[in-house]
Amino acid sequence: MSMQQNVLDGSQKAFMLGYLENLALVERLHRLLLDVVKDEFERLNLLEINPVQALLLFNIGENEVTAGELKSRGYYQGSNVSYNLKKLVELGYMHHQRSEIDRRSVRVKLTEKGRRVRSVLNELFGRHAEGLERRGLIGASGMEDINASLKRMERYWTEQIRYIY
């Protein structure tokens, strides 16, 4: 084995270790986000919905969407979107209405109660962003770099799903 091949193997291994660390961090960060939302809701005694449902409300915002659009627009990543939508409608956080064009399709949007939850999360995330910047943990350019890298990874994974076969 040549010296050049040995160096390549070492850099390939280092890249692989970095990639695996990225994967673990993404997964941990998602779980931590859910814990942060849960903690905030417990502090405010908002115990009726879970963090996944709260993030769904946050991501929908002022939009009116169908269940299918929730996934295609990236608002929701779980497999049980119908269950969570049904619960949010039952609990009064969302309105639902059958589409005039396609009666099988149901459009949903936030109620005032849902907008209040969204506001709570917006304030929470605003405090977090302010704290990160104030403490010098991540600046605006660092945030842009992280987002650009994650978007490139997202595009790559999306390509792998679509074109793997």
Degrees, nearest 5: CA angle 38-147-134 = 65
User: Averaged over 142-165, what is the pLDDT?
Assistant: 89
Stretch 52-73: mean pLDDT: 88
User: pLDDT confidence of 78, banded at 50, 70, 90?
Assistant: low
Domain parsing of the chain, residue ranges: 49-160
User: Residues 97-149: pLDDT tens digits?
Assistant: 877 777 677 889 999 999 999 999 999 999 999 999 999 999 999 999 999 99
Question: What would the mean pLDDT of 136-164 be, rounded to a whole number?
Answer: 91
Confidence of residue 72 (pLDDT cuts 50, 70, 90): confident
Between residues 66 and 52, the one the model is more confident about: 52
pLDDT value at 74 more than 90:
no
Distances (CA, A) of 28 to 22, 135, 157: 10, 22, 18
Predicted pLDDT of residue 140: 94
Banded model confidence at residue 41, pLDDT cuts 50, 70, 90: very high
pLDDT grade for 10, boundaries at 50, 70 and 90: confident
Element (H, E) at 7: helix 3-43
Return the CATH architecture of domain 49-160.
Answer: Orthogonal Bundle (1.10)
Average pLDDT of the chain to the nearest whole number: 89
Q: Is the pLDDT of residue 161 over 60?
A: yes
Report how far apart, in Å, the C-alpha atoms of 27 and of each of 52, 113, 139 are: 14, 30, 23
Res 165 pLDDT > 60? no
Query: Which of the pair, 66 or 113, is modelled with greater confidence?
Result: 113
